[in-house]
Amino acid sequence: MKTALITGASKGIGLEIARELCAKGYHVLLAARNPHAGSETASRLVRQKYVCTFVPMDVSDSASIREAHRQVSTKIQHLDVIINNAGVMLDHSQSILAVSESLLLSTLQTNAIGALTVVQAFLPLMQRGGRIINVSSSGGQITNGASTFAPAYCISKTTMNAITLQLSSALASEGIAVNAMCPGWVQTEMGGAGAPRSVSQGADTAVWLATEAPQSLTGKFLRDRKEISW
Ligand SMILES: NC(=O)c1ccc[n+]([C@@H]2O[C@H](COP(=O)([O-])OP(=O)(O)OC[C@H]3O[C@@H](n4cnc5c(N)ncnc54)[C@H](OP(=O)(O)O)[C@@H]3O)[C@@H](O)[C@H]2O)c1
């Protein structure tokens, strides 16, 4: 049975990715920082006859990531997929000129450095054919200039994209594919009720990258299963 670790999977896009990978027969390691929400969510999936294990993990805390890896290693011998989905948007319509150091650091810690630390910790469980998917945002695109709606958030996603390319290069010889994807503007707590996309539309490209995309596809940024600019 294939295994997939999904961070921030207690709700929103992460939960939808978890549900869809469960339905495709994966053993989902549902990681969440809130133990109550995480274990409740995993139990709900298990009651639907899916194979799902709750993993407590706060991606902004490297000790928590290490402990999650220790716990997972006692239960499974290999990991096929890592999906770095956990994310926060702490600034809204704020100018880059007013962004505080603490807000910028905590956004980067969760959205970018946390994702890298998760990969570093769990990589020993991954073999040739592994897939790493970073849930990024078009807010991180810089090819045609920067988005300004939430500068700290957008900078964190640009950083996540840079991490994606670094990891893709570092892991090419090991046959592990690393890609970033943008879910679009999705109806979740982060996206708000006015967003045009459903969670299942938002999850689609990540699920495709985890399961059906060619293994040779690596080092790309995608939306709706198609490459977009960095
Ligand atoms: N919604 C959109 O329109 C949109 C657009 C582009 C990109 N994205 C990206 O899609 C991903 C999922 O977002 P969403 O819309 O599903 O947002 P959401 O509903 O707010 O869910 C975010 C998830 O991340 C978790 N999380 C936050 N900080 C964490 C931490 N330190 N450790 C572990 N988990 C943490 C949250 O856990 P708690 O329940 O504990 O808070 C929650 O499960 C994010 O990376 C986001 O940037 C979303």
Name the amino acid, one letter, at 218.
Answer: T
8 CB within 6 A, ligand 1 = yes
Contact 2, 80 (CB under 8 A): yes
The mean pLDDT of 48-62, rounded to a whole number, is 98
When the pLDDT of each residue in the chain is averaged and rounded to a whole number, the result is 97
User: Where do the domains of the chain lie?
Assistant: 3-227
Per residue in 73-106, pLDDT tens?
Answer: 999 999 999 999 999 999 988 899 999 999 999 9
Compute the distance from residue 111 Cα to the ligand 1 centre, in Å: 9
Q: How far is residue 74's CA from residue 81's CA, in Å, rounded to a whole number?
A: 18
User: Hey, which of 7, 10, 13 would you mutate to test ligand 1's pocket, going by the most ligand atoms within 8 Å of its Cβ?
Assistant: 13
Residue 92 is predicted with a pLDDT of 84
Topology given in CATH for the domain delimited by 3-227: Rossmann fold (3.40.50)
CA 51–ligand 1 middle distance (angstroms): 23
Q: Which atom number of ligand 1 is nearest to the Cα of residue 60?
A: 31
**pTM for this model (two decimals):** 0.98
Catalytic residues: 153
Q: In this structure, what token pair is assigned to residue 63? A: 């000790």
**What is the number of the ligand 1 atom nearest to the C-alpha of 86?**
24
Q: What is the mean pLDDT of residues 64-69?
A: 98
pLDDT, residue 94, reads 85
Ligand 1 binding pocket mutation candidate from 7, 33, 153, 181 (most atoms within 8 A of CB): 33
Asked if residues 3 and 76 have their Cβ atoms less than 8 Å apart, the reply is yes
Query: How far is 56 from 100, CA to CA, in rounded Å?
Result: 29
* 138 has a pLDDT exceeding 90: yes
Query: Does the Cβ of 24 fall within 6 Å of ligand 1?
Result: no
Residue 37, amino acid: A
The pLDDT of 57-69, averaged and rounded, is: 98
Confidence of residue 195 (pLDDT cuts 50, 70, 90): very high
Degrees, nearest 5: CA angle 106-200-223: 65
Mean pLDDT of the region 110-133 = 98
**Whole-number pLDDT of residue 4:** 98
* pLDDT for position 12: 98
Q: Mean pLDDT, to the nearest integer, of 42-71?
A: 98
Mean pLDDT over 26-45 rounds to 98
